[in-house]
Chains A and B, each alone.
Chain A
């Protein structure tokens, strides 16, 4: 048994030892923390509830049997000299004209009774594009399916009422306008993921996120549906990966090394199953936040983060540049049918 003086000594020693070890551990932690986590300057905090949102996914229906349909037999041994690549190295289809049979796909997808969502952002001066966009979408986007347009804008009054076909709805959603156009652009990821978590997962099965300053020129149908869908940027489809405008600064979370990269995907078109798009946009958003905390903005804003994420989480379907074209470029012979392309516009004025 210890006498009281000794006991206090021991306690003091014990306390001192704990203090010392605690401090040492703290210091070690601070040292390693810089390796593992970027220190977080909480000037912009995401709402905590979004991360705990349970996304109840509607049960997957078994693949429906295809009813009798007459279509030509696929020819196994055919010579196709000047065509586009139709399969990525990870066996995702690359969709272009001639690779699919629209009637067959219509037969497959029609009985599934799907609803497809379409999000566009029309903030500030970009509201002028909405009318033309929606009119062309009514003509070409997912004809014969139920469609739900989600138009995000800071000025709901500026959104024109475009006549919609049967089974097609429009919802106008109010978002905040930011001072810089880059900020508006990067916030899209956050807005889309919150919107899916709060609303879209109950209303649609698939969702596409498109830029508003474009028009549909030819049919865009269920050939584009997939788990996670990306589109190849029209400016970089014929260029080696070292010339892709990836974010090349190591400090950014969107950093891509010289020897990485499959295709340069356009930020103007992506989509897929609602659950997958939610995870994708959320991941991009977190990466953007981490960069923001470090005071860095990626070279092409959310497009850089999108590209980074598509390298690690490869898309299950890739759309050829037919689905995201720039009209200022001459159309090459390998692209047969341009379906979605830019409108001529004065970008600098629009962004001011």
Chain B
């Protein structure tokens, strides 16, 4: 092929009357295109104010979303957000930990209005004196809460050591029906028998992770060492993988919705056996030598050891504190009367939870008669032969 060479001006040089070199034409072409497209895509700085100033991001580091200004009714929640550039600095996520600075936007929703003069529930306590809501049926709107937490990933930890693997099938199947539907969920099953973990079909956005841990000969130790495992894995994995952690017992089944209403920086559940008891009747650890000691004139509630949780950072703090307290007790040769539950109660007395779950969230039908204020049973104990299963 003959190489190009610049040619002298010609008379018949096409449309332009004088010939321009191809390079010049090309340059003109590029300049013209730039001129038009920069107008279209707002590359020229002067036009950029609206794009820049209308975006910001809210919520935690795992919840980046462009702010949607309600520019017209049609754009409520449905505006093509790709057009608005996200250029404002993201200081709010970097510096605000997700558990405290969360005011996520909710899209346009239609729901009945709350009446200030008509409390939802008058038969039960709905808020603790430190402003933690007590979660009962009739107190929350699940649609709003699901929308507020729609980007949250929840981890559910459960321990199936030795013979307790038999409970996994029912647990996981019912969790698939009732636990955090519509959210991303990761089940963390801690077991010493990974091959016995059943294959349960999981829904969209949900996965199961089996983690092998050692077992202990005494069931009390199995129960107490859960705190150690949770704190270790929180540091190693959960901080990076999920936003919220829920730690439950395995010998249970879900019967009704357990959803985003429970999510909080730290939450505990009321033990079904003590919701009506006076604080002196709570089975706290009463020996002053133990680190789980609570005097007789203190205590808000008796929290159950079988359902607690919160943001990963707070659960890590709780589990580490309980583990260290238990280790100190072990060194002193004392074991709290209800093991990890006693230590949990001590922790939650002095670091008050941000939400408290009612006994709807932890019930035992075979040991307790169902009272009228319990409108739903969401998470119930599966009957088991204690003697057989623990040995």
Contacts and interface: CB of A to CB of B under 8 A. Distances in A.
Q: Do A and B bind each other?
A: yes
Interface of A: 1, 4-5, 7-9, 11-12, 14-15, 18-19, 22-23, 25-26, 29, 35-38, 40, 42, 45-46, 48, 51-60, 62-68, 70-71, 73-81, 83-91, 93-95, 99-101, 104-105, 108, 223, 227-228, 232, 237-238, 240-241, 250-251, 253-255, 257, 259-263, 273, 275-276, 279, 282-283, 286-287, 290, 308, 311-317, 320, 334
B115 A77 contact: no
A88 B100 contact: no
Most interface-central of B20, B96, B145 (chain A CB within 10 A): B96
Contacts of A100: 129-131
Contact of B71 (A38, A53, A57): A38
Interface in B30-56: 32-33, 35-37, 39-40, 49-50, 52-54, 56
B101 A273 contact: yes
Given A74-B300, A81-B122, 7 more contacts: A19-B32, A35-B74, A53-B89, A86-B127, A275-B95, A276-B101, A314-B106
A22 B140 contact: no
A312 B106 contact: yes
A69 B103 CA distance: 32
B7 interface: yes
B164 to A, nearest CB: 31
A276 B103 CA distance: 8
28 contacts: A5-B14, A8-B14, A8-B25, A9-B14, A11-B22, A15-B28, A23-B36, A25-B36, A38-B71, A45-B49, A51-B52, A57-B91, A59-B95, A63-B265, A63-B266, A66-B352, A68-B298, A71-B129, A76-B124, A77-B373, A79-B123, A87-B139, A94-B116, A108-B130, A227-B103, A253-B70, A261-B113, A279-B58
A40 B89 CA distance: 23
A19 B29 CA distance: 9
Given A60-B100, A91-B140, A255-B73, A85 B117 contact: yes
A237 B36 contact: no
Contact of A85 (B72, B80, B115): B115
A11 B122 contact: no
Given A15-B25, A22-B37, A55-B92, A77 B106 contact: no
Contact of B117 (A223, A259, A260, A334): A334
B267 to A, nearest CB: 11
B351 A91 contact: no
Interface in B99-127: 100-111, 113-120, 122-127
Contacts of B96: 57, 60, 275
A315 B2 CA distance: 74
Most interface-central of B96, B116, B352 (chain A CB within 10 A): B116
B317 interface: yes
Nearest to B358: A76
Contact of B120 (A46, A87, A290): A87
Contacts of A263: 114, 116
B101 A227 contact: yes
B113 A4 contact: no
B19 A8 contact: yes
B79 A36 contact: yes
A86 B350 CA distance: 24
A260 B307 CA distance: 36
A33 to B, nearest CB: 9
Interface stretch (B150-158, B200-208, B212-220, B272-280): B272-280
A25 B350 contact: no
B32 to A, nearest CB: 6
Contact of A260 (B10, B53, B110): B110
Contacts of A14: 29
Given A60-B96, A66-B352, A312-B70, A19 B88 contact: no
Nearest to B25: A11
A65 B114 CA distance: 34
A255 to B, nearest CB: 6
Contacts of B120: 85, 87
Contacts of B35: 22
B128 interface: yes
A62 B117 contact: no
B319 to A, nearest CB: 14
Q: Which 3 pairs, one residue from A and one from B, show the smallest C-beta to C-beta distance? A: A22-B36, A89-B141, A57-B95
A53 B73 CA distance: 31
A105 B352 CA distance: 11
Contact of B122 (A26, A42, A80): A80
A45 B52 CA distance: 13
Nearest to A23: B36
Most interface-central of A25, A37, A58, A275 (chain B CB within 10 A): A37
B156 to A, nearest CB: 21
A37 B50 contact: yes
B102 A227 contact: yes
Contact of A65 (B32, B135, B265, B350): B350
